[in-house]
Amino acid sequence: MTASPAVPPAADDTGRWLHDLVADLLPPMRSITGEGVRTTLRTVARALGPGVPFTVHEVPSGTPVLDWTVPREWNVTSARLIGPDGRTVVDAADNPLHLLGYSTPLRARMSLDELRPHLFSMPDRPDWVPYRTSYYNENWGFCLTDRQLAALPDGEYEVEIDTTLDDGGSLTYGEIVLPGETDDEFLITTHTCHPAMANDNCSGIAVAALLARTLAATERRRHTFRLLFIPGTIGSITWLAGHRADVGRVRHGLVLTGLGDRSDPTYKRSRRGAATVDRAAAVALTETGRPHRVVDFSPYGYDERQFCSPGFDLPVGRLGRGQHGEYPQYHTSADDLDFVTPESLADSYALLRRIVEICERNRTWRNTAPYGEPQLGRRGLYRAIGATMNRQAVEMALLWVLNLADGTRSLLDIAERADLPFDTVAEAADALAGVDLLADESGGPAGVGVGVGVGAGGGASGG
């Protein structure tokens, strides 16, 4: 690390700060439970600093959660495969990916033929180590490069897997709740269960941590923000099972993953398809003027499929870059620090901030003088916009807002109908509200929002 992750970056150092934090997050032997997750959350806590309320929850193994059960806690002391010559073939201490996730403990000697069903490689990528797990089907194994596998000689091998599966353990997740001026929630989640992969999942953890710092330092938040650092699938199911009474407050949601590779940004819509967060993401991506993708919801992917399951149907989309399975480095040792770039991390963070800002600013207004067009000149509105770059666009925005602000349309609705930039419409609404021509029908005070700069709490932006 070039600097402690607890130190917030200056605006132009955001990408480097995020990349350094990704480096700090890589080493632990992470899985869906265990000390690796706890170590990861301690790193997150340091990066958050003292100003962010971070709570670590432990849910006992065996707890029923929806149609699932919290699994036994898995921990690793060591894991090695030793060849016939006494030399170590692979060692999980060198790379956590070498051990099949959730491997059961074993000490045994066996022939190469007996060993082969427990060895995993990638023939099409002979120099990469694959990521494999066996969470819910007891097994053991090692992952190695295909070149290593092909070079293994016949003879007797020694398997040393020192792991534990504890019925008395727990599932661990982290949570940040930042109260806003309304109880309406913005839910942001990232998974914490993948070991030794920079893009999937360290990039999401790092970007979520920096967003939490920024939000915590923001003086006024309209929404209550809840950020979850959870193991994939079972973590979101566990949280949903314990918060069924709370999910009705979720107005917007984002799952963060794969934010550091060089691919174009990609947004996956919620199951609803046209939720506010879906539309805000489309606006934010279009504003960049750069290539991007917006894809429809499908019940395959990350935790968005749990939040968007039909019984919950929450407005939760997913923000990333390259999608799972679309880049060859996915779930391999090639998803390393060289695969993610400071530039991509900073760009993803800026997009996330912009989506949040649009959702914060989007409101539903009601015209308080709807009979005829109110006289704007005597209220000083035309003089106020006289020095703007595009006076005509602002004047049109004033008229469109007055005409469509009937208590049923949001600012996103009006911007789309008027074919005007969202910020132009939002600024027009703020000006009209400032002279009592609009009443807020959406709840919470006007003018609440998060800036679009890329600094963290205590830096140039965020307050």
- Cα 257 to chain centroid distance, Å, stands at 5
For residues 164 and 106, give the distance between their C-alpha atoms in angstroms, rounded to a whole number: 10
- Residue identified by tokens 């921990």 is 75
Does one domain contain both 341 and 377?
A: no
Does one domain contain both 197 and 183?
A: yes
252 marked ligand binding residue: no
Does one domain contain both 181 and 311?
A: yes
- 18 pLDDT exceeds 70? yes
So what's the pLDDT on residue 15? 97
Give me the chain's average pLDDT, please. Answer: 92
Alpha helices in 223-313 (DSSP H): 234-242, 276-288, 304-307
Is 239 a member of any domain?
yes
Q: What is the DSSP string of 275-292?
A: -HHHHHHHHHHHHHTS--
Write the CB contacts of 425 (distance below 8 Å, at least 6 apart in sequence).
397, 400, 401, 411, 414, 415, 418
Does one domain contain both 162 and 53?
A: no
So what's the pLDDT on residue 380? 78
331 marked ligand binding residue: yes
Please name which of 337, 338, 328, 263 lies closest in space to residue 128, comparing C-alpha atoms. Answer: 328
- 194 pLDDT exceeds 90? yes
What is the band of 3 on the pLDDT scale with cuts at 50, 70, 90?
very low
Task: Pick the more confident residue, 373 or 128.
Answer: 128
Write the CB contacts of 353 (distance below 8 Å, at least 6 apart in sequence).
211, 214, 450, 451, 452, 453, 454
pLDDT digits (tens, 9 = 90+) for 166-182: 999 999 999 999 999 99
Question: How many domains are there within the chain?
Answer: 3
pLDDT digits (tens, 9 = 90+) for 228-249: 999 999 999 999 999 999 899 9
What is the band of 9 on the pLDDT scale with cuts at 50, 70, 90?
confident
Alpha helices in 29-128 (DSSP H): 35-48, 112-115
Does one domain contain both 239 and 267?
A: yes
- 151 pLDDT exceeds 90? yes
Does one domain contain both 183 and 154?
A: no
What is the band of 383 on the pLDDT scale with cuts at 50, 70, 90?
low
So what's the pLDDT on residue 8? 60
Average pLDDT over residues 435-460: 57
406 marked ligand binding residue: no
What is the band of 11 on the pLDDT scale with cuts at 50, 70, 90?
low
Q: Which residues constitute the domain of residue 144?
A: 73-166
Cβ atoms of 97 and 131 within 8 Å: the answer is yes
So what's the pLDDT on residue 392? 80
What is the band of 252 on the pLDDT scale with cuts at 50, 70, 90?
very high
Average pLDDT over residues 430-442: 93
Residue type at 267 in one-letter notation: Y
What is the band of 458 on the pLDDT scale with cuts at 50, 70, 90?
very low
Helices (H) and strands (E) counted in the chain, each on its own, are 13, 19
Is 162 a member of any domain?
yes
For residues 67 and 240, give the distance between their C-alpha atoms in angstroms, rounded to a whole number: 11
